[in-house]
Amino acid sequence: MKKIIIIGATSGIGREMAIRYAALGRQVGITGRRTELLENIQQQYPTNIFIKTMDICQDKATEDLQALIDEMNGVDTIFINSGYGKESFPLDASAEMQTVATNALGFTNMIIFAYNYFRTQPKGHIVVTSSVASVRALRQSPAYSATKRYMRHYVDCLAQLAHHEKLSIRFTTLIPGFISTEFLREGNNYPLVISLDKACNTIFKAIEKKKRAVYLPFRWNFVVALWCLIPKWIWERYC
């Protein structure tokens, strides 16, 4: 039986993916800061959902993650879905630093742990949620854009490292655009918005097939290609 841990599963993509895997009879470990939301998911599938209240920004996060792995008697996949971000316009130091703490420091702590855990296993799979915001600089949310790019680059580095160490660790980077969840601000006209259900269908297939990277939805491949053709000076001045 395949076993997966989803870090950041109290809402949105994490919650939906946890429910999908549990419905298939998989053993699913879920983490998040809000215990009551984790317990709500566990109540739906009490025999194969394991929970651990955890904040990836805290020093003891790796201890909590190890305890969850021990309770599940090992796992095959670790899905790092935790993240934080908000518009910071005008620039808000508090929001920017919280984003860095979560998406850079907390993320790094989690992925280092996941990599080193799978170094001791026959094989493993690490899944990370980045964003299309990682492609080009976004003035509305500097820390979010920068840290999501950091995530992608860090995964690329570890993928290269795993090959050189001859380890059987696979990596999947999810690069979503705008998904219809409670995090989208009402009244804004977001491009290429897709439903949570459709997004999770694509994510499930990507994880099962161990795809290296996937844009959500696929049309973002073309948008990103166009973005990359725009000279830097034009992007900085007019975008």
Active-site residue list = 144
Return the domain boundaries, the chain. 3-238
- Evaluate whether 10 touches 53 at the Cβ level (below 8 Å): no
Q: What is the DSSP letter of 132?
A: G
Which run of H or E residues covers position 6? Answer: strand 3-7
Neighbours of 98 (CB within 10 A): 16
Q: What pLDDT is attached to residue 159?
A: 98
Question: Could you report the per-residue pLDDT of 188-227, keeping only the tens digit for each?
Answer: 677 888 999 999 999 999 999 999 999 999 999 999 999 9
Q: Which of 122-126, 173-177, 181-185, 190-194 is the least confident region?
A: 181-185
Q: Which residue has the tokens 């080009």?
A: 136
Q: What pLDDT is attached to residue 191?
A: 82
Q: What pLDDT is attached to residue 183?
A: 65
DSSP per residue over 51-114, as a string? Answer: EEE--TTSTTHHHHHHHHHHHTT--SEEEE--------SS--HHHHHHHHIIIIIIHHHHHHHH
Q: Which of 9-13, 185-189, 230-234 is the least confident region?
A: 185-189
User: ∠ CA 5-74-167 to the nearest 5 degrees?
Assistant: 90
> Is this structure's pTM higher than 0.75?
yes
More confident call, 184 vs 204: 204
Rounded to an integer, the average pLDDT of 164-181 is 94
Question: Could you report the per-residue pLDDT of 40-99, keeping only the tens digit for each?
Answer: 999 999 999 999 999 999 989 999 999 999 999 999 999 999 999 888 888 999 999 999
Evaluate if residue 184 carries a pLDDT over 70. Answer: no
Q: What pLDDT is attached to residue 199?
A: 95
Neighbours of 112 (CB within 10 A): 13
Evaluate if residue 187 carries a pLDDT over 50. Answer: no
pLDDT band for position 185 (cuts 50, 70, 90): low
pLDDT band for position 23 (cuts 50, 70, 90): very high
The CATH number assigned to the domain with range 3-238 reads: 3.40.50.720
More confident call, 86 vs 110: 110
Question: Could you report the per-residue pLDDT of 122-149, keeping only the tens digit for each?
Answer: 999 999 999 999 999 999 999 999 999 9
* Amino acid (1-letter code) at residue 23: A
Give the pairing type, strands 169-176 and 179-180: unpaired
More confident call, 104 vs 86: 104
Q: What pLDDT is attached to residue 89?
A: 82
Q: What pLDDT is attached to residue 12?
A: 93
* Amino acid (1-letter code) at residue 231: P
